[in-house]
């Protein structure tokens, strides 16, 4: 299986993940929030928003500031070997978990819910 296929399969396996194709790109969303951009080309790459400041990641040769979204902390990982794939999968997991945690917190009971 090619790296791009591995990224796509990993994203699609997330609970409640939805594949979408805005602007001709492949993206994966959970609750209408994008957790991974896979792009549209043949090159295996993923754009995600890491939980931590991306400065350390940007020191790696296969990680760069994401086009258009970089100012919001998003990075793009180009996957050309197994080490880059493992990093990409971990970052996908982190971004997905961050979005699902936000949803869980917003569902906590409020005073009006207890009446």
How far is 101 from 76, CA to CA, in rounded Å? 23
pLDDT value of residue 90: 97
Confidence check: pLDDT of 18 > 80? yes
From the candidate CATH numbers 3.30.1330.60, 3.40.50.300, 3.90.1150.30, 3.40.640.10, the one assigned to the domain spanning 3-101: 3.90.1150.30
Size of the chain in residues: 115
Which ranges constitute the DSSP H helices of the chain? 3-12, 82-106
| For the chain, domain boundaries | 3-101
pLDDT tens per residue across span 68-100: 899 999 999 999 999 999 999 999 999 999 999
Confidence of residue 104 (pLDDT cuts 50, 70, 90): low
pLDDT value of residue 105: 57
73: left (phi over 0), alpha (psi -120 to 50) or beta: left
Higher pLDDT, 97 or 43: 97
pLDDT value of residue 109: 47
DSSP state of 73: T
| Cα radius of gyration (the chain) | 15
């Amino acid at each position: 299986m090619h790296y791009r296929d591995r990224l796509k399969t990993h994203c699609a396996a997330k609970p409640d993940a939805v594949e979408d194709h805005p602007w001709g790109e492949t993206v994966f969303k959970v609750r209408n929030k994008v957790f991974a951009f896979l792009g549209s080309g043949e090159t295996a790459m993923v754009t995600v928003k890491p939980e931590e400041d991306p400065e350390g990641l940007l020191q790696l040769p296969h990680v760069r500031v994401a086009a258009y979204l970089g100012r919001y902390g998003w990075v793009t990982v180009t996957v050309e070997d197994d080490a880059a794939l493992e990093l990409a999968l971990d970052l996908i997991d982190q971004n997905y978990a961050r979005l699902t945690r936000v949803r869980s917190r917003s569902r906590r009971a409020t005073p009006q819910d207890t009446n």
